[in-house]
Chains A and B, each alone.
Chain A
């Protein structure tokens, strides 16, 4: 992808992530009261199409956003450049998307 497209993808995913992170933070602050339990988490998420969509979008946006950001940091602070960096970042994105969607399935599948 061209730098301009990466920039655009980074900002677009950031805009998607803003409301998702706000809800996630609010939920964390409410849910941690008195400690977390698997039952408490899974009662909320299992079988819920709404949470599946919420976290599915969250995972895909984060899996796009994080590698682009990390690529910028590596690009600006180290000498790592070129094809190997692009491949590593695509790999990271796929890893995050894969592990993330697996986690979504783990908590929402009935």
Chain B
């Protein structure tokens, strides 16, 4: 019997890499536009940052920081699979990336809170 590939952690690492990548690509223009407010004036950037203290923004920022860590971890895994000698314990890389994302997300929330 062919086992569905979705049972494999590698499939979910692939999904996480894709979803985080697309989300980051969509977020980047907005990130750049916000920073561009400093061209107008310091106060314009500050006005936005005050709005960004809103809990909805904090959750979104937490999501982005976590997604960036997920994308970094999943990307490092892809390059390890492609360029480093093949070895056992490859699933461990997925766990390591996931733990790193949770740790970075948690530190972010502790720091901003």
Q: Which residues of A contact B (CB under 8 A)?
A: 11, 14-15, 18, 21-22, 24-25, 28-30, 32-33, 35-39, 41-42, 59, 62, 66-67, 69-70, 73, 92, 95-96, 99-100, 102-103, 105-107
Contact = CB atoms under 8 A, between A and B. Distances in A.
B38 A100 contact: no
Interface residues of B, number: 36
Contacts of B72: 18, 21-22, 25
A13 to B, nearest CB: 10
B108 A29 contact: yes
5 contacts: A28-B65, A32-B108, A35-B53, A42-B45, A103-B32
B111 A33 contact: yes
A100 to B, nearest CB: 5
A44 to B, nearest CB: 12
B39 interface: yes
Interface of B: 18, 21-22, 24-25, 28-29, 31-33, 35-39, 42-43, 45-46, 49, 52-53, 61, 65, 68-69, 72, 75-76, 79, 82, 104, 107-108, 111-112
B32 A99 contact: yes
B25 A69 contact: yes
Contact of B22 (A18, A24, A73): A73
Contacts, number: 94
A102 B32 contact: yes
Nearest to B107: A29
A32 B24 contact: no
Given A14-B79, A21-B68, A102 B39 contact: yes
B33 A99 contact: yes
A32 B112 contact: yes
Nearest to A45: B38
